Structure 1
Amino acid sequence: MGRTVLTRLFALVLVIHCTGWMGSSAATRVSLVDNGYVDLVFAISDAAPQDQSDIIIKNIKKMILDASPVLYVATGDRAYFKSVLILIPQSWKDVEANASSWETFEKADVIVDAPNPRHKDVPYTRQNGKCGERGEKIHLTPNYVATLDQENNNKVYGKPGKVFVHEWAHYRYGVFDEYGTRGDTNFPLFYRVQGEKKPVPNMCANKPAVFNVRDISNNSSDCKIDPVTKNYDENCAFDFNKFYRPDTSLASYHQIDSVVHFCKDNQEHAHKSEAPTKHNAMCGGVSVWTVIMRSPDFKDNKTKQVDLDKMPTEFNIVRSSGSRFVLVADVSDSMRICNRIDKLGESVRAWIKHDLPTGSKLGMIMFSSMAHVVSDLQVITDMNSRQEMMKKVPSQLFSATCIGCGLDLAVQMLQSSNSTETSGIIVLVTDGKNSPGYLTIADVQKDIIDAGIRVVSVAFGEQADKNIEQLADITDGKSYFIRDDDTSEALEQAFLGACTYQSSVNSSDLQFKLFERTASADQSPTDINGGFDVDPTVGRNLKLSIFNLEKLANLESMELTAPDGNVVSKIDYQTTTASVTEDLAMVGRWALNIKLNSPQTKSVLVTVTTQLRPDVKTPITTRCWVPNGADIKNANNNRIRIHAEVWKGSHPVTGATVKAFLVKPNDESEILDLLDNGVNADTVADDGVYSRYFTGATMKGRYTVKCQVVSNNDTAQGLGFFGSASPQLHGNLIDGNDIAVRSPVLPASLLVVHFRWRFPCKVTTLIHQVKSQILLSC
């Protein structure tokens, strides 16, 4: 059987400036205020059973309450945990919770989710950025949290508070493990120290390890030396002596009761720069303490004595109340150019009709020299409510551009509605710069941030205000760039991207593209034919669409032919778009045919989109991002990394062909092959993350990037995230028995790379079968 194709296109926009450099802000909202971390978000998935809800919530609180004084001591009286939000799943109906719309599972700092197949119940952090870069998130399992207090958990994983501080150091400060793993040639369990007759444990501690070795293959007290490495072989483990009591390191064996500090550069808590640990490899031998002190949290090096008994951690249990959207649309005269206002109206109506989730709320504001409410927040309940909102989409144009006016009114709408919530999602569409003398983005930026509002920015044309991407970036939103020669489909995908940013996203709401073809004007097309596969995972709401019709009369016919020969041909017309829809498509090979009466002076775009079948719960997910963020300055001095990640559940998908398609401000194109080979921009080989440096950003302006994932017969699934995990100890710290140290995880060759830098356009889902051709743009 030949190569099969599995593709998804996802687009993002970069803004290149000429001077200085500004990296992306991390997506997390956690901040350090008066020595206390606030707005730390735990998110519990549906994988956690409701009958364990009480114990899971109780133990999350216990873990943080235990961790707070540990962190305070470990950071030299610099930090503790001040406030925590716990986002519970919608399925936990009987749990009392406050309503909220800004916390999301996707953006949570800590998730309680189904076990990673590699880690099982071991707490770990998704992390493989560079030294000092924040991790993706901390992963705990429902079983680990529910059994937190059980004696065996404390023996194996350590005390909950210290476990969390160990992971927090990975996640927040970008440090790495200071222990070795049995069978790992890069970070071995033992290593040779000059002057020592035998290998010693690979760890960082301020006191020489006191230990006994044993061969786990025969349970003898002697270990064999490998003649090649001169180190103990992979069957060798060790037991700490019961009287061994070092002070460091929390990044190493934090299970030892006496360990309360990280290794430092001073004599008292001396760092072992020669030890072959992952931390030394990633950070060039610099101590964990030095990396932590370089964190933006501590850059001012301020310490403040805090009485933790008088500063208890505050907990808030929240549940998503449904997403609240406010469309803020530019209706200035410049929106006449290239028919922008009509494209906007058509796309907004399509979004309301087909994609806006039922139960969400939508408000609309238009702005020119002033801002006006087109519609207050209305709940989308059925097709009648959708039709009413579609009628209100603005089309009349006025003079001047006051972006700040539109944003300010949107903030008021979200705050003044009959709700205790203040957050929501603003979808800002504009094609120009703010007119002089009017309210600006900067004037309302603080109000937006304080209210917890995310902004999805849509830049119409190159002249759109460059500050809108920065606003989306700092509010943890997304950015889209629409060129004037783009079809209205590009705008529809931007609005669809806003939907995938709701507080709780169901897989059933996500869309896939099975076919995409552009027929250029100079081809004078009269017939457009094609085929695509519908595999067992998709087929719901199958939709054939043609965009950019100059006249609806130009379309003679369009039809879909099912595998059994049945033809679907009922056409739904919009302003410049027509579509044919099948509610639930048969699995198999489909054909499409479109006939045009006359040639077009503009190219047309033909797509086929669909959604998951009702019984499919775990599709492959994909992500495309740029660690530098959306707003890059002086790119000549910074190679721009582009990453694409493909995984199913916790399993990375390897062996795919991944390409990045870049369009520069002068409309020149460049194609990059993204590689998963562990070289240059790619940190680790065969981890499901494909990477490449882009060095062609030689001019300022907006760059669009599309990443295409093509799967073939060599595609495989790995075992999941390796990350940075807490080491497991098998023994008893409490009654004084020796501690047996064994390999906590498998070798690091299957590490999945994540960087916690926000990228402007988020890709959420990809079909997991390798039969279908899938082209998705976000």
Structure 2
Amino acid sequence: MGSFPNVILILALGVLQAVEGSMIQLNDNGYDGIVIAINPNVPEDEKLIQKAKEKVAEASTFLFHATSRRAYFRNVSILIPMTWTSKPGYLTPTLESYEHVRFIHLTPNFVLDDNWLIYGPRGTEYWGVFDEYNFDQPCYITSLNTIEATRCSKDNTGVNRVLKCSIKSCAIRLCKINRQTGMYETKCQFIPEKSQNAKVSIMFMQSLDSVTEFCTAKTHNPDAPNLQNKMCDQRSMWEVIMDSEDFRNTSLRAGVNSPPSPTFSLLKAKEHVVCLVLDKSGSMSVNNRLSNLVEAAELYLIQIVEIGSWVGMVTFDSDVITQSNRSISGSEIVLLTDGEDNEISTRFEEVKQSGAVIHTIALGPDAARELEKLSLMTGGYRVTPKENMTDLIDAFSRITSRSGDLSQKAIQLESKSVMLNSKEWINGTVTVDSTVGNDTFFVITWTESVPRICHQDPKGKEYRNADFSINKLNSKAAHLRIPDTAEAGNWIYRLQNEHSLQTLTLTVTTRAKSPTVLPVIATVHVNQSTGHFPSPMIVHVQVSQGFLPVLGAKVTAIIETGHGSQETLALWDNGAGADTVKNDGIHSGYFRSYQENGRYSLKVLVQARNNTARLSMRSPQSCAMYVPGYVNHGEIVLNSPRPEVKDKEMEVKIEDFSRVTSGDSFIIPGVPSGPLPGKFPPAKITDLKAKSQADHILLSICFFPADHYKIRMSGNSMQLRDHFDKATQVNTSGLMPKEANFKETFEFKPETLKIQNGTKVYIAIQAVDNANLTSDISNIARARREYYPSLSSYTINVATIIVAVVGAAAIIHIF
């Protein structure tokens, strides 16, 4: 498996949209709350701090002009690891951490290099816009039957060539046309002119010196087959940005040509200090809440909290006993309660000023509604477990290391609760993969009497009741700590209930195998902390190892109301519905099965079985576009070739694994009582594809639940988008709805359109349910009858072609 990168610097710019609870806010044109976090594994280098300051300052100026003087970076914190030497002027961090942000990962070599700047195609992270290039479809055929590079805008000039490079030389030739598709061959690349007049677009090729702006409605290329057009209904980048929460009501900063310089704060993390503030009121005696709390809190102390932390435990009351007046700034508080408190809101300002991070555990349906606000305003986690032991343990497991050191992160492998009759067994396996195994615990709880325990490791060694330690404070729990590193493979467990009807639970936690091994982790995110009926919530789960996506896992979300109603939601990484990009390791799904007003808890199960898991070696989505070279005064000057990964090496098989993780709870208000009206339209189809076959058109669709479908077509994509109901309708009588996420093809013959060579047809689809609610119009697919366009008339002097290869001379062969 991969090892930790030797040096990584993280620019934690976060989601700049005004998401409730985000630490980053746009105020009076300035972004506050930006954090640059240096990974604890980075060797100490003072130059990194200075260079980071310089590059962020340059990026701030670039952002200011790119947004037409609407935004810049005002307050930036640099989070320095504990492993670095303390110096005067270093402050203690308060809410800044390695968690709760979307990351931009930069290597120190990048930061130290004067030739590179931070700004680039990060609008996806900021304002919900997408790349304007397409690695998989780098060119397309226009309405004039010419081949164009996928780009925005079309005013960016250049040539299309095929490069074949070895270590010391490169061969270059014209692109050939594939006679089956009418497109350029697969390895054809667009090489831009070094000197351009076009100022757009940052989300296409920001490396061009002339590019300083986003595409606008005037400069946008709506026909380019890129993710921006697919996901944003062919709207321009600037239109989407101006409609974002940040800029909807933000005016430009008049009278100035440059923004103020950013203010930097140097923050050095100190010892991790956490205090458990626990409710022991009378209501906690109901349903064994207090005894379950004791066991879960003990598990947190011995298994979850970061090793070397300072931990305190108190019970809360209306009276405060103060033994010291030391600051709690930068500390963490875990607050658990099951009751109402009408005075929480009166303490909000005091909480903000304290600098403490507050994680809240709302136990039961009667817990104070203001608890989540404490977490949102301080950057803490918020969880809503049921009253049973498993959910409480899951809740504490959510509150894990925030230091950025993955070797300290507690990883949950199993979390199971089963009610058994007398003499019944529960059997199963827990997979301990080779990326984890350090500090591994098996915890078993029961409600009446200790069960019969039979565990077996992958080598056949057995563990019985005598090998487990029973908690002296709580006689209804036992745990087994595996010494050193747990054996990799399938651990078999068998539990028998030797009492009358009772509930047994099993929880397994572990940590990374070593500081040099990257574990497979699952990270949960919901699109908002408070939903709005009837709009769906979107659940995302990222499965990754380091910065590489893990594919082939089965991901399931379990969502539960405060009163116990449960919904199981399958999440998909198929580029359809709620999922934006196929095979990027992010599994997504819409949740709309609202049962009641109030809190909803979220738990996620990730399983890879039967050798289905693969590690993707492809470039991550929204990375900067690789530019093979430039045309400079009629000569092609090539950059160093990008290392090629063979198709068979694009995905590497990895071993089976399992992960369990909890997400932040969320709140849904406005749910009507009684049967819910039909207010949830079908999901928008985003993966429609089309191709022409003789005089027919073949569609490929990933279905979502619906009663029937509307398909319409037009010879103009914009008319189809803006006037869908007036476009030509396709007979869909032969298209039968399938189960969700079922891939299907549908073939039809256009009845009113004659398909000839070069004919292009644009198609879109809507799903309609049995209440006649209609989905949004799908992405617009294009089918084209085979035609062989002429090559671009662009000419270039190829007598001299220069290749820039670092450390080696290069020879070019023209053929």
Residue 358 of structure 2 is aligned to residue 455 of structure 1: yes
Confirm whether residue 275 of structure 1 aligns to residue 224 of structure 2.
Answer: yes
Structure 1 residue ranges without an equivalent (≥5): 1-22, 109-135, 151-158, 377-412, 753-767
Deviations 1:44-96 (A, max 9, x none): 2245444xx23332322221122222222221221222222222334434777
* Residue in structure 2 matched with residue 386 of structure 1 by the alignment: none
2: distance between equivalents of 1:586 and 1:256? 52
- Paired amino acid for 2:531: I
CA distance in 2 between counterparts of 1:741 and 1:234 reads 20
Answer with 71-80 or 298-307: which moved more: 298-307
Matches within 5 A, 1:429-448: 429-435=336-342, 439-440=343-344, 442-448=345-351
Once residues 206 and 159 of structure 2 are traced to their aligned partners in structure 1, the CA distance between those partners, rounded to angstroms, is 19
Matched-pair contact (CA < 8 Å) for 1:240–1:740? no
The CA deviation string for residues 650-694 of structure 1, in whole angstroms up to 9 with x for no partner, is 232222223333444553444333333333233333332333333
Higher helix share: 1
Give distance in 1, aligned partners of 2:259 and 2:126: 25
Mark the runs of 5 or more structure 2 residues left unpaired by the alignment.
1-16, 165-169, 664-815
The one of 700, 710, 713 aligned to 2:597: 700
In the TM superposition, what whole-angstrom CA distance separates every residue of 1:742-775 from its partner, at most 9, and x where no partner exists?
998999x99x9xxxxxxxxxxxxxxx97456666
| 2:469 corresponds to | 571
What secondary structure, in the 3-state scheme, does the structure 2 residue paired with 1:72 have? helix
Query: Hey, what does 2:31 align to over in structure 1?
Result: 37
Alignment of 1:85-124 (within 5 A): 85-93=77-85, 97-100=90-93, 102-108=95-101
Residue aligned with 2:205, SS: coil
Query: Which residue in 2 is equivalent to 1:82?
Result: 74
Q: Secondary structure at the match of 1:327?
A: strand
- Aligned runs of 1:588-627 on 2, under 5 Å? 599-600=499-500, 602-614=502-514, 617-627=517-527
Structure-1 residue corresponding to 2:107: 141
- Per the alignment, in what secondary structure is the counterpart of residue 145 of structure 1? helix
1:654 paired residue number: 551
The TM-score with structure 2 as length reference comes to 0.68
2:326 paired residue among 388, 408, 417: 417
Which of 247, 270, 279 lines up with 2:199 in the alignment? Answer: 247
Q: 1:428 aligns with which of 331, 335, 345?
A: 335
Deviation at 1:301, TM superposition (A): 2.7
Q: Aligned-pair distance for 1:299? A: 2.1
Q: Quote how far apart the aligned CAs of 1:561 are.
A: 5.9
Change (3 A) 1:457 1:721: farther
1:58 maps to 2:34 = no
Q: Which residue of 1 aligns with 2:186?
A: 234
Q: 1:732 to 1:317 in 2, by over 3 A?
A: farther
- Which letter maps to 1:434? D
The 5-angstrom pairing of residues 420-569 of structure 1 reads 422-435=329-342, 439-440=343-344, 442-484=345-387, 486-487=388-389, 489-498=390-399, 500-513=400-413, 516=416, 518-520=418-420, 523-525=421-423, 536-550=434-448, 554-555=449-450, 563-564=460-461, 569=467
Equivalent position to 1:638, from 517, 535, 549: 535
1:697–1:69: structure 2 CA closer, same or farther, 3 Å change rule? same
Task: Out of 454-463 and 328-337, give the one that drifted further.
Answer: 328-337
Note if 1:211 corresponds to 2:108: no
Question: More displaced, 240-249 or 70-79?
Answer: 240-249
Kept in 2: contact 1:515–1:773 (CA 8 A) = no
Other structure's SS at 2:229 match: helix
* Structure number having the greater strand percentage: 2
Determine if contact 2:306/2:408 at 8 Å carries over to the other structure: no
SS of equivalent residue, structure 2 residue 52: helix
CA contact (8 A) 2:191 2:631 kept: no
User: Does the aligned pair in 1 maintain the 2:40–2:405 contact within 8 Å?
Assistant: no
1:363–1:738 distance in 2 versus 1, CA, 3 Å: same
Amino acid at match of 2:203: A
Where do 1:344-423 residues align within 5 Å? 344-368=293-317, 370-373=318-321, 416-417=325-326, 422-423=329-330
Deviations 1:538-597 (A, max 9, x none): 5444434332444xxx4487575663467653633332323343433662666667677x
How far apart are the structure 2 equivalents of 1:237 and 1:772?
Answer: 39
Match of 1:201 in 2: 149
Whole-Å separation in 1 of the counterparts to 2:350 and 2:428: 50
Which residue identity lines up with residue 214 of structure 2 in the other structure?
F
1:726 corresponds to which residue? 624
The answer to whether the 8 A contact 1:167-1:725 is kept is: yes
Q: Is the 1:365–1:372 Cα contact (8 Å) retained in structure 2?
A: no
Give the residue type in structure 2 aligned to 1:76: S
Q: Which residue of 1 aligns with 2:119?
A: 165
* Aligned equivalent of 1:128: none
* Structure 1 pair 688–771 and aligned structure 2 pair: CA distance change class (3 A): closer
CA gap 1:743/1:75 in 2 versus in 1, 3 angstroms: farther
The aligned length equals 630
**Whole-Å Cα distance in 2 between the matches of residues 559 and 709 of structure 1?**
25
Q: 1:699 to 1:556 in 2, by over 3 A?
A: closer
Instruction: Check whether the contact 1:45–1:89 (CA below 8 A) recurs between aligned residues.
Output: yes
Distance change (3 Å), C-alpha of 1:89 and 1:357: same
Write the distance in 1 (CA, Å) between the matches of 2:202 and 2:585: 30
- The Cα of 1:221 is off from its aligned counterpart by 6.1
RMSD: 3.9
**AA at the equivalent of 1:483:** K
- Looking at structure 1, the residues matched to 416 and 205 of structure 2 have their Cα atoms a distance apart, in angstroms, of 53
SS at match of 2:277: strand
